[in-house]
Amino acid sequence: MEETGLGWEQAYARAGELAALDQPVVDDSWDYTGVRAILAIALTALGEGVDDSAPVQTGRLLWHLDRGPTNVRRLAAVLLGEELAQATDIDPATVDMDNPVVSTWVWLTRTWPADGPWGGMSRGVARGLTDPAIDILTSWAAKAALTGLNTERGGLANGTAVRITAGDHEGRIGFVKNSAWLMDDLHETVVDGPPPGYEVMIREDPESATGNKREIVPTGALRRTTREETVEVLGLQTRFESVWDACERWAQTLLWWHQDTHPEVWLATENPDGRAPVVTALMTAALFDTVRQRGLDEPADGSSVHLAPLLPMADTLGRPYRWEPIAELLDRIDTTGDSPTQQLLRAIKHAPALSEAGMASERRALVELAESVIIAHAKVAPLPAGTTMRQFSSGEVEPRLVDQALAIAEAARRRQQVNLAMDAPLDDV
């Protein structure tokens, strides 16, 4: 059913389900907490004065969120009054913080230190900005609602490889980026039925100087690619000299994708050129440890590494950005090889500098950067269609390296800096 209950508890539960479609379900994540809170406020307000027999439709939720944070404040006024709805940095002593709607709104509308801390939470979105979560994350909440609506109405999942069958781009292969909907402004909702079209990232000819382009393509002019077509277009390397080499290459790729798609994080980072190799080495170690724990270190050519889940890598690095898990990790793995990351990890392991009390801020910055790279990938890696919140939160379904293959391939095509070639059938994925 495309619907939501009316009370705060029901709205908050449904908000968690929607947020989980686009955010890793992590209670100490600033991003997930904010998206869930915005969804819950909007759902509760839209349900005010409506009988339980007429629940809030996801299409109506999307219509309102698509109009941005100003409209969310209008909705909040239904629950809290105009003065609180328009306020920022509300003094908790002046309001009823035992009311979950009020306390949630106080959190959503407070400003934050540019460099943290963020209430003891990890943060991946818009670090360096002090704006309230309501201003930064409303578009993310709208995206979660859009994903929910697309799933409910049987649309193609983001990342689906498609071939265009009609129009100016007939014969081209592309990847679904978003579903495109018609808005019914009169009724403040989305027009009924499946999505009439999709935003598609179209892959141009390799010789083209224009690169990929985004176009809205009618649903009737698309079909899913065959496995053979998908293998041809993705071209991702899955065999390496060793398992460690595979982990190192994947870590390097994850890092440069993050630098390419989240430049604001690296612009705000002190000594990014010096920290990047250390972050790569830490991610390599975390991935190698995850691969061993999941039994993906066979075959020895690293051809199973791409099946490794992303979030356990972040867990391996430890929270809240403590160095002890890193020391334990380095004790668990063999760093005696000659690869660049192994040499750097040996230096980290045996150099006393990073263990000194005065280096606490540097240790935190390194681990925080490594985790932010991994979390950024996990947030956008598409999960199989029909994945439930229970399956995701229980770990039954996890975002994997290979699930990020589409995004990585697009970035590689755009910058032409990474040489990726696939020689394993997708049946193994």
Q: Indicate whether 181 belongs to any domain.
A: yes
Q: Indicate whether 238 belongs to any domain.
A: no
Q: How confident is the model at residue 347 (pLDDT cuts 50, 70, 90)?
A: confident
Q: What is the mean pLDDT of the chain?
A: 81
Residue 346 phi, psi dihedral angles, 5° rounding:
-65, -40
- The average pLDDT across 404-421 equals 54
Residue 417 phi, psi dihedral angles, 5° rounding:
-115, -15
Listed residues 152, 178, 197: the one ending a domain = 152
The answer to whether 200 touches 174, Cβ cutoff 8 Å, is yes
Range of the domain at 132: 8-152
Is 123 in the same domain as 172? no
Q: Indicate whether 47 belongs to any domain.
A: yes
The answer to whether 172 touches 203, Cβ cutoff 8 Å, is yes
Listed residues 120, 152, 184: the one ending a domain = 152
Tens digits of residue pLDDT in 363-408: 778 888 898 899 888 887 776 655 665 666 666 778 888 777 766 7
Tens digits of residue pLDDT in 111-124: 999 887 888 888 87
- The average pLDDT across 316-337 equals 77
Comparison of pLDDT for 359 and 270, the residue scoring more: 270
Tens digits of residue pLDDT in 284-316: 999 999 999 999 999 898 888 888 999 889 888
* Number of domains into which the chain is organized: 3
The confidence score (pLDDT) of residue 429 equals: 36
In what order do the strands lie in the sheet containing 161-164?
213-218, 197-202, 173-180, 161-164, 222-224
Whether 199 has a pLDDT exceeding 80, the answer reads: yes
Share of the chain above pLDDT 70, in %: 79
Per residue in 323-357, is it b (16+ CB within 10 Å) or e — as a string? Answer: bebbeebbeebebeeebebbebbeebbeeeebeee
Is 90 in the same domain as 213? no
Per residue in 10-25, is it b (16+ CB within 10 Å) or e — as a string? Answer: bbbbbbbbbbbbbbbb
Is 144 in the same domain as 204? no
- What DSSP line would sit under 366-408, residue for residue? HHHHHHHHHHHHHHHSPPPTT--HHHHHTTSS--BTGGGHHHH
Is 140 in the same domain as 118? yes
Is 16 in the same domain as 125? yes
- The average pLDDT across 68-90 equals 96
Question: Cα separation of 147 and 181, whole Å?
Answer: 12
Instruction: Return the CA Rg of the chain.
Output: 23
- The average pLDDT across 195-207 equals 76
Is 295 in the same domain as 413? yes
Comparison of pLDDT for 210 and 388, the residue scoring more: 388
Is 354 in the same domain as 285? yes
Q: Indicate whether 111 belongs to any domain.
A: yes
Is 121 in the same domain as 141? yes
Listed residues 129, 152, 175: the one ending a domain = 152
Comparison of pLDDT for 414 and 420, the residue scoring more: 414
- The average pLDDT across 130-145 equals 94
Whether 234 has a pLDDT exceeding 80, the answer reads: no
Comparison of pLDDT for 208 and 38, the residue scoring more: 38
Using CA atoms of 376, 159, 400, 386 in order, give the dihedral in degrees to the nearest 10.
110
Q: Indicate whether 266 belongs to any domain.
A: yes
Question: Cα separation of 182 and 196, whole Å?
Answer: 8
Whether omega before 113 lies within 30 degrees of 0, making that bond cis, reads no
Is 191 in the same domain as 131? no
